[in-house]
Amino acid sequence: MTLQERYEEAKRRYAELGVDTDRAIGAAEGIRLSMHCWQGDDVVGFDQKGPLSGGIQTTGNYPYKATTPEQLMQDMDKVLSYVPGHHKINLHASYAIFEEGEWADRNRLEPKHFARWVEYAKAHGLGIDFNPTLFSHPLAADATLSSENEEVRRFWIEHCIACLKITEYFARETDQPSLMNIWIPDGFKDIPADRKGPRARLKNSLDQIISVPYDHDAVYISVESKVFGIGLESMTVGSHEFYMNYAAKNNLLCLIDTGHFHPTENVADKLSSLLLFGDRMALHVSRPVRWDSDHVVLFNDDLRELAQEIVRNDPQRFFIGMDYFDASINRVAAWTNGMRSMEKALLYAELTPNAELARLQEERSFTKLMSLREAVKVMPFGDVWDYYCAKNGVPQETEWFADCEAYEKEIAAVRG
Ligand code: RNT
Ligand code: ZN
């Protein structure tokens, strides 16, 4: 059977459930993902040589990690050639690209240090999202925006303000909105004696950052909470309650990282609540395994449920960023699997008879609801997915990996 024949048959089968596959494909194509640059080099960046800090960790020693901007961009090209749809890239401030002999500390970063990223984005028709980097820096050794040391706290406020200007530059240059997401590692390994003090300082720091004038139509600011970090197990200053309230009060976006909650919490369940109190929200899609381990995102139940909630709540209200980093396998393949999984989940959600399922819930026909949901699982999704990939000019499911292996052997392994 040709791919076209496979698709036609799948289309007929889905139509029996009341699902229009052409519509679903069009809808999935309209959802942009923000591809994080940090899967390519284990969150190292280009502005410092120190270890990754802030209670986050990459594990594994797979060779051929990108070590220069050229290599990272080359790997990103490869990943993007495997991923259907139109996307954005998500950069961290630590990925500033300096001229020979030039260097600027985080509070002195300027748009010009990201000019090559803008060039890259323009050449590929990509938008850009941004993140100040409040870790992997000597002044982040203790605390950042919640620091008791006023000099340190000022440094990080200045860094975030510098990043706001850079985010504005990205939005202007790419002619589309950019998200600036603030995540800080601040917290305590053991039971704190004062929780209010650090949180009050964080609140004051954020107030200072967002009171700087910026283009509110082009730049969105989000705040990312977390339940704990390595070495920061007892308390994180930027908790969920803290940021949910801060975002609501100040008209910012809440960013929900799927790895930042207790392992039995259903993160997908949070979206509809947040969107009743704000126009938009942001996501970091990750796969926690027992803890915030940032495993490669896979096409599993959690991801499907998340995508269903995105689709049911209007995908255009979300900034969907990816956030995983695996150093134990080929990084280009890891990156690709995560991005393709997210795309799959969104297409799968668009191929679900959501209106019919909701109707069954309203009439409390729970037996029928369960049965229909199970029927959806065995529909010929793979045929629609392969068709979607081909339509977008990227390899089908069983095609890309061989090319990726060849890329490792012929390019990554010999580039030094
Ligand atoms: C850390 C947060 C944060 C980082 C990236 C690199 O737990 O998830 O978003 O992973 O910014
Ligand atoms: Zn995150």
Task: Check: CB of residue 413 under 8 Å from CB of residue 106.
Answer: no
Residue 299: per-residue pLDDT: 98
Residues in the chain with pLDDT values less than 50: none
- Which ligand 1 atom lies nearest to the CA of residue 257? 8
Residue 39: per-residue pLDDT: 98
Catalytic residue among 29, 41, 75, 257: 257
pTM of the model: 0.98
- Domain 31-342, second-level architecture: Alpha-Beta Barrel (3.20)
Q: In angstroms, rounded to a whole number, what is the distance separating the alpha carbons of residues 327 and 334? A: 9
What are the pLDDT digits (tens) for 24-44? 999 999 999 999 999 999 999
Residues with a beta carbon under 5 angstroms from ion ligand 2:
257, 284, 323
Identity of the residue numbered 37: C
Q: Identify which ligand lies nearest to the alpha carbon of 226.
A: 1
191 burial type by CB count under 10 A (0-12 exposed, 13-18 middle, 19+ buried):
exposed
Residue 50: per-residue pLDDT: 87
User: If residue 12 lies in a helix (H) or strand (E), which one and from where to where?
Assistant: helix 3-16
Q: Whose CA is nearest to atom 3 of ligand 1?
A: 183
Residue 49: per-residue pLDDT: 86
Query: If you write DSSP's letter for every residue of 304-326 in order, what string do you get?
Result: HHHHHHHHHT-GGGEEEEE----
Residue 416: per-residue pLDDT: 72
Domain ranges of the chain: 31-342
Catalytic residue among 113, 159, 203, 284: 284
316 burial type by CB count under 10 A (0-12 exposed, 13-18 middle, 19+ buried):
exposed
Q: In angstroms, rounded to a whole number, what is the distance separating the alpha carbons of residues 163 and 215? A: 13
Query: If you write DSSP's letter for every residue of 235-280 in order, what string do you get?
Result: EESS-HHHHHHHHHHHT-EEEEETTSS-TTS-GGGHHHHHHTS-S-
Which of 179, 181, 183 has most ligand 1 atoms within 8 Å of CB, for mutation? 183
Q: How far is the CA of 325 from the centre of ligand 2 (A)?
A: 11
